[in-house]
Structure 1
């Protein structure tokens, strides 16, 4: 690793301000999809690591437009390139999935959309210095970190940060909207009610896992100040997970915050590159990466279940009328949330456990979905996308249900939890 010059605390604060919130009129949308991989004939049995590695090599040879990576437990992740419209984003990701699915099926592997692995205990198949350090770090708080790394999957929607002016599409409003709407999205798309074959008492076990991890890097920043200042303090005051080295382990002194690392220069002076890497080890429910990365949505069932959370979120953030309606619907939820940050406040806990059986969250979800449905034609959404959102709203939201309820209602549903829809061995 090349040696780079150390920088001052002021320079690093300015660097965070510049890279984490790139403002302007919202115009780009993106999505990151994670999937659990399983054997199509024996879905309950863990897939051998060598099969996962062989599959990864085959997928990387495909002409995909989306970058493809694998998570520590072997979860597949596709990250779309920034798209200028919802339709462009959906079409690009659908085209990539049309290549990935048959390539996996040819190797006896299928893709399943669940927020948390319903059958297998966490098992890491990727071993490198980053994940070794991450596992050791999170083990200080119990087993939740291993579940997060190896057993969870999500639909992460990325929206522009917004412009500097106040109003529905301004940065300050979008930052607050993301943290309140996040609980509604968690509840509406909850899809992880089981772990190792047993109900957990949560409809989103994935969200419950996140709420049990290191609070200094998984809770939302305080909402009392502007997004830039709040995030800068949050990032610099978070403990360092690892100090990268050329050789050996990437251990960091326990309790060392990045700000203390800057001030002490120990174990070596940090650089801008170290700060950029440090930010990738922070996992709040809304993470600024130039854009806003919404990280609270469970992976969804079916071949195209991911389209609905993407479309709804895009509509509620990028159509001014829908954004204003959504903000008015979720603003009263701030009182329920209280002073504790997401996802450890009462609102987010209710979203993870009760989902849309919670009357307050149900009312907000019904209104938000209605606003999104009205906005989708204005965004140029295709008839197929609009139909998928309407079907989801009728099947789940209007009835106070979420995908997790399908599994909880069916006595034998868990036996088939990993069998993908519309696929065969």
Structure 2
């Protein structure tokens, strides 16, 4: 399959062909080269400082989040749908540098939350609170309605879960222990080990669930098409391209009206309808679609 080029893949604003979409995903998912940089994304639940079982009201969450912009931190601070706080580090040249920077940033954020009577909680799934949306945005409205089709797991994931996400370079193009194919396979294999080692969510809504990682259970319940891994025996670029285009659309962005799409519609369906004379997707629609897929290892292709 060809790399994404100006002749095979549409530029921003142009309607995509199916071949153009395949070329874009195939050519951008793995940026190969020396594996030098790493980073982390840390999601934290926000709990009452004195009693984590107390429900934090929307007003308290609003005030806490309003105090975060402008803090002297190196990481990017963002809010998750349930009011969780996420810190995304810059790429670092060593694990030590990354950890030290994030430790300092976390101290600043905790200090900012303390006057509001709040603190950060590093638990995979909130053991006490029921899911409740904090962010009211079109993206999350559509996400909630889409995931509701499979049951309550989507809302739980959106509003009461947190995680540590590790970002790594893909590795070299050629075969070998530092090649991107080997690192892709190892990342998936090590995921199960890391899950077992750090499982930390045995309860939900005040009751034991029987799982060491209830968070992982809820992620699995979202469905393999959106949250599962592509076949690992296949060539990684080709496997990810097929998975991405055959995954169900979560939403279709519109300036007016709801973002919902008919259940079961895939991105490839949208491409083919556009080729048949409908309103086809553009490059930015494909890029947005990729942000709605949550496999355990995500080939983002960042430089």
Please tell me the TM-score bracket, short chain as reference: over 0.9
- Counterpart mapping for 1:26-425 below 5 A: 26-265=35-274, 268-290=279-301
Gaps of 5+ in 2: 1-11
Instruction: State whether residues 138 and 214 of structure 1, in contact with CA within 8 Å, keep that contact through their aligned partners in structure 2.
Output: no
Structure 2 counterpart SS, 1:130: helix
Structure 1 counterpart SS, 2:281: coil
Structure 1 Cα separation of the partners of residues 76 and 56 of structure 2:
23
Structure 2 Cα separation of the partners of residues 120 and 194 of structure 1:
10
Cα 1:136/1:215, change in 2 over 3 Å: same
Q: What is the number of equivalent residue pairs in this alignment?
A: 290
Structure 2 Cα separation of the partners of residues 267 and 280 of structure 1:
24
Worse-matched range after superposition: 10-19 or 260-269 = 260-269
Structure 1 Cα separation of the partners of residues 54 and 116 of structure 2:
15
Worse-matched range after superposition: 262-271 or 206-215 = 262-271
Deviant stretches of 4+, over 4 Å: none
Instruction: State whether residues 194 and 200 of structure 1, in contact with CA within 8 Å, keep that contact through their aligned partners in structure 2.
Output: yes
Deviations 1:299-338 (A, max 9, x none): xxxxxxxxxxxxxxxxxxxxxxxxxxxxxxxxxxxxxxxx
Gaps of 5+ in 1: 293-425
Q: TM-score, normalised by structure 1?
A: 0.66
Q: TM-score, normalised by structure 2?
A: 0.92
Structure 1 Cα separation of the partners of residues 218 and 173 of structure 2:
34
Structure 1 Cα separation of the partners of residues 123 and 17 of structure 2:
43
Question: RMSD of aligned C-alpha atoms?
Answer: 1.5
2:33 pairs with 1:18: no
Q: Which residue matches 1:303?
A: none
Structure 2 counterpart SS, 1:68: strand
Structure 2 Cα separation of the partners of residues 63 and 261 of structure 1:
44
Structure 2 Cα separation of the partners of residues 88 and 65 of structure 1:
12
Instruction: State whether residues 161 and 291 of structure 1, in contact with CA within 8 Å, keep that contact through their aligned partners in structure 2.
Output: no
Instruction: State whether residues 39 and 47 of structure 1, in contact with CA within 8 Å, keep that contact through their aligned partners in structure 2.
Output: yes
How far off is 1:19 after superposition? 2.2
How far off is 1:214 after superposition? 2.5
Structure number having the greater helix percentage: 1
